[in-house]
Amino acid sequence: MSETEGQDTRRTIVLTGASRGIGHATVKRFSREGWRVITCSRQDFSTDCPWPAGPEDHIRVDLADPEDIGFAISEIRRRLEANGSRLDALVNNAAISPKVNGGDRMDSIHTPMHVWRDVFQVNFFAPIMLARGLYAELQTAGGSVVNVTSIVGSRVHPFAGTAYATSKAALASLTREMAADFGPAGIRVNAIAPGEIDTAILSPGTEKIVETIPLRRLGKTAEVADVIYFLCSGQSAYVNGAELHINGGQHV
């Protein structure tokens, strides 16, 4: 740790959903660059899947519970005091994508409303609650917010449920609105929209989709983490309100 007069001078990121998949690759990427990574997810720090941030920078929070998010924000702000109450990046990565038994798509006719509400709470409301709650710290650092959307926010997908897809479309619109509202404070807000990335979220049958992707392969979690890193770095200093496709050309 680099410290000046007791202060942690590392750049700091708050990352939701770090325990596996894209989030896990992201925590490794930022740690490698010397960032302090504060991770948030439902489970305790996992010793089966340890990440470099370590248990001391992990916060247990259920993003499906608005009250719990409030507690988490207070705890994050307290922990950021060690960094001069500066937050360089907030990455809203955690999401849920419920499926019917067997992994089939939950359509708009049958999806129970309580499922729809849970999906929107985790995938859509949690990101704006966190960004608003950490606004002052982001402003102090001239920080960056990255919302993780999805290719399914802009097209019907054979496996992704309707609640998930609409939550990601809403998050893409929110990114545009936030870019306008947070920009004057020096905070950039962008999104990344992954396509088929090699993680546990994928359904059986994805091989068929891969045959139609111009690059003819799944994406790697590390390839997504690289783009998130780019959007949180000075290399993208004039990029604001963008949604970057990471899909091997699947959207063309």
Ligand X SMILES: NC(=O)c1ccc[n+]([C@@H]2O[C@H](COP(=O)([O-])OP(=O)(O)OC[C@H]3O[C@@H](n4cnc5c(N)ncnc54)[C@H](OP(=O)(O)O)[C@@H]3O)[C@@H](O)[C@H]2O)c1
State the catalytic residues: 164
> Which is closer to ligand X, CB of 181 or CB of 243?
243
Nearest of 197, 146, 147, 138 to residue 167 by alpha carbon: 147
Chain contacts with ligand X (rule: CB under 6 A): 16-23, 41-43, 61-64, 93-96, 122, 148, 150, 194, 196-197, 199-202
Is residue 217 classed as helix, strand or coil in its secondary structure? coil
Find the shortest distance in angstroms from Cβ 9 to ligand X: 28
Among residues 96 and 227, whose Cβ is nearest to ligand X?
96
Which residue's Cβ lies closest to ligand X? Answer: 21
* Residues forming beta bridges with residue 89, ordered by sequence position: 13, 144
CB of 23 or CB of 143, closer to ligand X: 23
Neighbours of 181 (CB within 10 A): 14
Q: Which amino acid is at 88?
A: D
Nearer to ligand X, 7 or 43 (CB): 43
Minimum gap (Å) between residue 194 Cβ and ligand X: 4
Minimum CB–partner distance for residue 3 and ligand X (Å): 29
Q: E-strand spans in the chain?
A: 3-4, 7-8, 12-16, 36-41, 58-60, 89-92, 144-148, 188-194, 243-246
User: CA-to-CA distance for 252 and 249, rounded, in angstroms?
Assistant: 6
- Amino acid residing at 131: A
What DSSP element (H or E) covers 137? helix 135-141
The Cα angle at residue 234 between residues 6 and 22, in degrees rounded to 5: 85
CB 212, min distance to ligand X, A: 15
Tokens of 191: 């999104």
Number of H helices, E strands in the chain: 8, 9
* Residue 238 beta carbon to ligand X: minimum distance, rounded to whole angstroms: 25
Contact 249, 196 (CB under 8 A): no
For ligand X, the closer of residues 99 and 176 by Cβ is 99
**What is the distance of C-alpha 97 from the center of its chain?**
14
